Each structure stands twice: as structure tokens, then as C-alpha cells.
Amino acid sequence: MSLAQQIERRRTFAIISHPDAGKTTLTEKLLLFGGAIQAAGEVKARGERRRARSDWMKVEQERGISVASSVMTFDYLERTFNLLDTPGHEDFSEDTYRTLSAVDSAVMVLDAAKGIETQTRKLFEVCRLRDMPIATFINKMDRETKDPFELLDEVEQTLALDVAPASWPIGMGRDFKGCYDLIHDQLILFDRGKGDSISESIKCQGLDDPKLDELLPDYAVEKLRTDVEMVRELCPQFNLKDYLEGTLTPVFFGSAVNNFGVQELLAGLADFAPRPRAGKALERQVAPDEGKVTAFVFKIQANMDPKHRDRIAFVRVVSGRFKKGIKMKHVRSGKTLAIHNAQLFLAQDRAVAEEAYPGDIIGLPNHGNLRIGDTLTEGEMIRFTGVPSFAPEILQKVRPEDPMKAKHLGRALEQLAEEGAARVFKPALGSDWVVGVVGPLQFDVLADRIRTEYEVPCRFEATSLMTAEWVEGDPREIKKFSDQNRASMAVDHAGAPVYLARNNWHLDKAKDDFPSLKFLKTKEEV
Ligand code: G4P
């Protein structure tokens, strides 16, 4: 297959949702259709096996949240889908945001009884910043739900997004009969209790087809006809341009746990979801069909398999045909890496990547030389942008329970910082480390991981620090500033100077005294 054909068949997307809306269930059903797994329940089962292996995931288990995100590749309708899983809990949103920088579109899952929830909204905002196309799946139609018109209105009003129903539900809860597929003019009947099988679709000649009267009770047909008339009057028709620009979302109704509506969603994605986009580098745009391979790191995960102490950089291929053994330039260090052991993420397992194409995600095992935001090329010195970095909002001190283990703790923290799990600062004075995170739950996870993966029991303690800001500017000015403020200076894991401010007054004074320096809440990961 030519490079152009490989690009054409790729669809790389993520599912965004509030916890409990049904993301895991939907993922599982998508993989089932994609033939990537044989029976529903495997995604969870796999999750449980993983949990059994790695202790820190106890936190995940205890709190019922999913922490680690991963990638699943499957084929369906002559497309290769790369589904990037994202953690749903808000304390782990940094990871989610970075994952969104590596996809071309998103599926937003809503619980039909709840509509838009806080986390859906936040994640949606990130997608909007990137003008990312979003398809909507309104889940749990087999339960009592909000009125479908109300749900559409909520999406339209709260997200300022045009809605174009791709299907329309017939009844809800105990009375849920199925959906009418508005794109293909067909009826899909809901068959309760057919967990893993596929609901049949019945081709109709429009809504007046007498088949509808045969298959559905009178009241349901009547309601369907008036509803659809209203939908067609009130909602815009699906149009590809607006969807691709991120201003209109096609809406599918379904019930993931009953395998209903999932096939229509997947067919929709195969049909209209965007193929891999061009990459934005500081220097220029990189088109996917350029002959040379380029890629960027959007996530690092350490110790995916504690037995091997491995560290995997998740890399999105932007352009070219990646082949096993290819030599790639690591732009930040200028070093050349021969890549023999890139991994592909299949739903069941990891496999060595012989080839990969734009839109694909490959995993590169490494020992810490790859960092989030890094660019890989076949020699050109370009740097991709857009992998976001977040300001640490809560700062705590950490120290090992056994003071002899300070060095070990330092190493663990450094690795976790490179992985992007937290910001880590080493103050110029004293022996403690300061750790900054976005959500407080991250401290629990960190403490647990440091104990189990690095065997260093440690304690986090509150500090009186308000914020950590990176200091940039003329090196001589920075040195002068550091010398005058030694008690408040630190370096991050990469050695960059950071000012630890106790309060706003403290920070403002620093800015006033050194007007030529820049104080930054985040640091671009390039
Ligand atoms: P998440 O990843 O977004 O957090 O959600 P997940 O898929 O784990 O689903 C949350 C709960 O909602 C699960 O129930 C799941 O079975 C249920 N669910 C998902 N889709 C549907 C649907 O279409 N209809 C109904 N009625 N329920 C649905 P649970 O009790 O938390 O877990 P489980 O024991 O059933 O697995």
C-alpha cells in the first residue's frame, strides 16, 4: 500500500467523558467490532490483570478511577483506528490533555440521564482550543433519560456547538425500542439481552415506509415521525466542513453496554472522521505525506511492566513511513538513535513495530533520554509544538522515611518528572524536594508509586509555598537574582531555574526588582 493510502485509512481519536458515562464500556465494544478482542469484558479483565501485577494501581482500584492511559489499534471497514485511552478523573487531566495533542478527533460520551458534566466540559474546552472535530455518543438510552431534545439543547447551549443528530432514539428506558438512522434512513431495533451480538438494521424507504408500522407499536411510530420532523426543522443537517472545523457535532444515541448504536458510531467515524493532520513545528508545517519520518513524544510512562523497569515514550508519527531499524535524530540532544524496538499497541498485547504511518502511535523503550515534547526526525532540526504543560497548583515537600534513601528518592522523583506525572523542584538550600501537581490525589498516587516501584517509603508534607515559577532571561540577571534569593530558588528536573514564592507580595517584589526577567507559570515542553 502506498504512503498516501496508509494515511487515508488512518483514524486516530480519543474518547472524552465524565467518569462513569461509559467510556470503558464503549471502548470495549469498539474493540469488539474491530475484531481486536473476542468477547466483551476483556478490556476490564486486562485492566484487572494489570492491576494485579502492579501495586500502585491499588489507588486506582480503591478509588474506582482509571489512571494510566494507553493506546489501542484495530481495523474496521478498511480503516485503521488508533484509539487513545485517557484517564477520566480530573486529577489526572494533564495526561489527558497531552493525549489530546496526539489525536485528530474525539468522541464525547454523555450519560443520557446526566447530560454535560464538569469533566466533559473541561475536556471539551481543550478540544475546542485545538478546533478538534467531535462526534457525540449519548449513552445509556436503555435507562430513564433526559428528553433527547433537552440533551441536544444542553450540548448546543453549554458548549456553543451545533448539533446534527445522526440517529434518533425511539423511546427510552424500559420502553427503548431502538434508533432511526437519519443518515442512512434505516431502522435499528434494540434487542435486549444480546450483549455481544450486533443489532440488525432494517433498511427503510424513509420515515413513511410501512415497514416501520409493522415493526413498531403505533404510538412509537407516530412519535418518531413527529420527532424527526422537528429535528429536521430545528437542527442543521450534518455537514462535513463544519464538523471538521469543530463547530458541529454529529450525535449518535445508543447503549454501549447493550452493544447498541456502537456500530453506527464506528461507521460514522470510518466515513467522516479526519485523517491524520499536518504537524505544527516552530519552523514550519509538516504534511503527513512528506517522505521523511517525523514524530513527537506526547507521553512517557515508566514501569509499565514492573518486572522490566521499562520506560516507554509514546510517540505520534506525523509524517513518512516509519520502518524498523530507521535512524532518527533526537532534535533536543542532537543524537542519532537507531530504532529497532518500537512497539505497536494492539488491544491484547504489544508487538514490535515493523512499520508505522502518520497517525500511528509507537512506543519507544528508553532509559530517560526521551522527554515529553521531544521531536524525532530523519535529520531536519525542527521542533513540534503543542504538547501542553501545566502550572503546578499545589506544592508539597517530600522526604524519605529513611534518610539514607534520599538519593533513591531523588532518582525516583526525577523519573516521575520526566514521565510528566508531577513537577519536581530541588531547592538550592536544604535536602527536601518540592513536588507540584494539579490535583491533590496525585500525591497519593506518587507516594504509592515511589514506595512500590522504587522501594522508597516517603512522606508528603504541606508547605507554605504558593507557587513555583520558571525564571527566564539573561543568564547574568538570573544569576544575580538567584544569588539574592537563594532561600527561594530551586531547579526543576532538567536543571532550569525556578522561583518558589510564598505569596503574591513575594512574587510581585521579585518581578519589580528584576523587571527584565520573565516569570512563567508553565514551561513549554520543547
Ligand atoms: P467510564 O469508563 O466512563 O467510567 O464508565 P464505564 O464504562 O465503566 O461504565 C460505568 C457504568 O455504566 C458501568 O456500570 C457500566 O456497566 C454502565 N454502563 C455503560 N454503558 C451502559 C449502558 O448503555 N446502559 C446502562 N444501563 N449502563 C451502562 P458499573 O455498575 O459501574 O460497572 P459494571 O459492574 O456493570 O461493569
Residue 91 lies in a domain: no
Same domain, 398 and 358: no
64: left (phi over 0), alpha (psi -120 to 50) or beta: left
Asked, for residue 68, whether it belongs to a domain, the answer is: no
Same domain, 461 and 518: yes
Pair (209, 131) in one structural domain: yes
Nearest CA to ligand 1 atom 25: 140
Whole-angstrom Cα distance, residue 256 to residue 274? Answer: 23
φ, ψ of residue 120 to 5 degrees: the values are -60, -40
Predicted confidence pLDDT, tens digits, the chain (526 residues): 999 999 999 999 999 999 899 988 898 888 888 776 555 455 555 444 443 333 334 444 444 434 344 788 888 989 999 999 776 566 556 777 888 999 999 999 999 999 999 888 888 888 888 889 999 999 999 999 999 999 999 999 999 999 999 999 999 898 899 999 998 888 998 877 655 666 677 878 888 899 889 989 999 999 999 999 999 999 999 999 999 999 999 999 999 999 899 999 999 999 999 999 999 999 999 999 999 999 999 988 776 555 555 678 999 999 999 999 999 999 999 999 999 888 887 655 567 888 999 999 998 988 778 888 899 999 999 999 887 777 788 999 999 999 999 999 999 998 888 877 789 999 999 888 999 998 788 898 889 889 988 899 999 999 999 999 999 999 999 999 999 999 999 999 889 999 999 999 999 999 999 999 999 987 765 4
Distance CA(135)–CA(164), nearest Å, equals 10
User: Which of these three, 257, 272, 287, is where a domain ends?
Assistant: 272
427 CA distance to ligand 1 middle (Å):
45
Instruction: Tell me how far apart the alpha carbons of residues 12 and 24 are, in angstroms, rounded to a whole number.
Output: 17
Q: What is the DSSP letter of 90?
A: G
Cα–Cα dist 496/457, whole Å? 27
pTM for the model: 0.82
Same domain, yes or no: 177 and 311: no
Do residue 356 and residue 313 come from a single domain?
yes
| C-alpha cell of residue 152 | 441536544
Enumerate residues lining ligand 1, CB below 6 A.
Answer: 17, 19-25, 88, 139-140, 142-143, 255-258
CA–CA dist 436, 94 (Å, integer): 12
In a shared domain, residues 42 and 138: yes
- Tell me, what CATH number does 190's domain have? 3.40.50.300
Q: Are 234 and 110 found together in one domain?
A: yes
266 plus 287 within the same structural domain:
no
* Chain center to CA of 354: 25
**Within-domain flag for 79:** no
Residue 6 placed within a domain: no
Q: At which of 229, 245, 272 does a domain end?
A: 272
> Is there a single domain that holds both residue 195 and residue 301?
no
Q: How many CB atoms lie within 10 A of CB 199?
A: 21
Task: Tell me the CA–centroid distance for residue 24 and ligand 1, in Å.
Answer: 8
- Does residue 263 sit in the same domain as residue 285? no
Contact 373, 297 (CB under 8 A): yes
Q: How far apart are CA 296 and CA 384, in angstroms?
A: 7
Q: Is 160 left (phi over 0), alpha (psi -120 to 50) or beta?
A: left
Q: Is residue 446 part of a domain?
A: yes
Instruction: Please identify, by atom number, the ligand 1 atom nearest to the C-alpha of residue 258.
Output: 23
- Choosing from 272, 289, 312, the residue where a domain stops is 272
- The helix/strand/coil state of 109 is strand
Judge if ipTM > 0.90.
Answer: yes
* Number of domains into which the chain is organized: 3
Domain limits at 149? 15-62+106-272
* Domain harbouring 430, CATH code: 3.30.70.3280
Question: Do residue 265 and residue 369 come from a single domain?
Answer: no
